Structure 1
């Protein structure tokens, strides 16, 4: 049975470019943060360093995920990318919570900040972060792994904008607590955007059922000539693209010699009408007839 193959790979050139930009931002913001006394810059530097590690993890994961199926992974290694996206997102949430804590602490212990140094460092950070995000933008919608990394970079770009605004306020009005407030706001936004990725990747890793209308699926299968009953259905996501489906199908005794034709017809219907990538069917005559549609694990 033919399966649709999804290729969304981060090239070595893009990987090198994004990683180099993030390491450069980290160094620049640490120096600028220490020089200006800005908490937002220092925490963003830590965030950027974490992003560099995330990008490396994402790149390694997609290389592993591209391996062919073998006796150790009969469905392939695609879920390594899902696992990487899950870990990346959890790290991003943890870092963001740390930023919120640091920002709250700074609200009650304000320090004088050099707005000029803070501003120019933030401008450089914004340019570099935006460049990194743009390198991944085109691939982010098709891979949860790359999307998780892209969200890291986008969050950094937004952080830089907040720091720029904060630096201007510091320079013009000498209001130093704005540095902490903007850190808290941006970190909260990052958490909000990342929770969806955690939920989606966790569902895939836990083999949660995909969003299929199972009544329609069964009805479509039973329209194939010779099919009299469908039961013991199992469906799960291999990755964010491919649905795997298995079921027991009873056929009429007079159609027993048409098993291969019926199997091919049902599989094609599931692929074309419901975009199911991998179909496994167990065809039976009377065994399990009219059994529960969703059954406990059984030996058959």
Structure 2
């Protein structure tokens, strides 16, 4: 990407906040947020992240800073979030390297569960304002009148393309979670393979701290057990792999989930998958996770008592 293609505000922002102007672009990724890897005139490589300012960024960056300063494998923020127009912008260290850990077997699930257990244990000591509203794919507790959290450009599309079984699955999972009375905690809500890197068998970096959420622990663990293999289009791992994830997490935290927490974990694993199928259907993409949701919904709903 040429420097001339950077947003107009970004070079001056770098000078003001980082003391140097960008002289090269290492990478650019645009999804829900825009992420720019930049080389500064002084030789430093940094990452600048910009996302819609929903009031969440300050808590997310503060939690990431706390973890990085205590040695957790994540990039260290270099600035607090700064408002630029309608965006919240911050910079962090560039933490390249590492490899993807692919696969959805129970053995792979246990390795991811170990990282998630460490992550959740560390976050338990973080004291920040809850980063609300939660990310849309884990916002089953929204206060709107419909099944899904309101997303304007999606809500305007033809909803009839979303398969009926997806609506039924999401509604039953959501009803079960809303019926629970569990305390909320801080947790990572986008614990997908594509957001982690590994080196010599050990986790090297956990990314996407913009996706912290405030939900019951069991729900966060359940959601992670359903998305950990994701490296591209949405998918669901085999049920035995989600079960291995949940079991390993409890063993490592040395705390057994109650019967209600077990049910909430299984319900959460389905909500995120149903959300992804809807997202893909409304974008006209073949829902890669659709077959898995259809095949596994009855068993996961049974385990959720939904």
TM-score by length of 1: 0.26
Choose between structure 1 and 2: higher strand proportion: 2
TM-score by length of 2: 0.26
Q: Which has the larger radius of gyration?
A: 1
Choose between structure 1 and 2: higher helix proportion: 1
